[in-house]
Amino acid sequence: MVCSFVLLFVCADLYGNTKALISGLDNQFHYQDVSRHSDFRNQTVPMIEEIKKADASFYRMEKTFMLTVNDPLGMGYRGMSHYSSLYNLNFNTLMKRLGFAQSWYRASYEGSTVLTDSLFGFKYILSKDEMPSCYKELKTSGDITVYENPFVLPVGFMVGKGIEKVDVESNNRFTNQNNLLNTLCGSDMECFFAEENVQKTEGSLAYTFTAAHDLPVYISFPTYDNPGGSLFVNGSYKSPYFTADDNHIVYIGQFEPGTEVKFSFNADPAKIRLLSEDVYYLDTAKLEDGLEKLGKGGLYNISYKRASIKAEVNAAEAGVMFTSIPYDKGFTVKVDGKKVKTAALNDTFMIFDVSKGRHELQISYTPYGFWIGLSVSIASLLLVIYLFLRSRNCFEKKTYKTV
**Mind listing the pLDDT tens digit for each residue in 88-114?**
889 999 999 999 998 778 889 999 999
**Cβ(223)–Cβ(237) below 8 Å:** no
Closest by alpha carbon to 97, among 180, 22, 18? 180
pLDDT band with cut points at 50, 70 and 90 for residue 137: very high
* pLDDT value of position 30: 78
Sign of the alpha-carbon dihedral angle for 96, 99, 103, 108: negative
Fold designation for 294-365: Immunoglobulin-like (2.60.40)
Amino acid at 277: E
Confidence of residue 1 (pLDDT cuts 50, 70, 90): low
Q: What is the mean pLDDT of the chain?
A: 92
Instruction: Describe the crossing of helices 173-185 and 284-295 by its angle, rounded to 10 degrees.
Output: 40
CA distance 147 to 218: 18
Q: Is the pTM of this model over 0.95?
A: no
* Residue 395 pLDDT grade (very low, low, confident, very high; cuts 50, 70, 90): low
Residue 160's pLDDT is what?
84
Alpha-carbon distance of 229 to 242, in angstroms, equals 6
Determine what percent of the chain is predicted with pLDDT higher than 90: 73
pLDDT tens digits, one per residue of 162-216: 788 999 999 999 999 999 999 999 888 899 999 999 999 988 999 999 999 999 9
Distance between CA 13 and CA 19 in Å, rounded?
Answer: 10
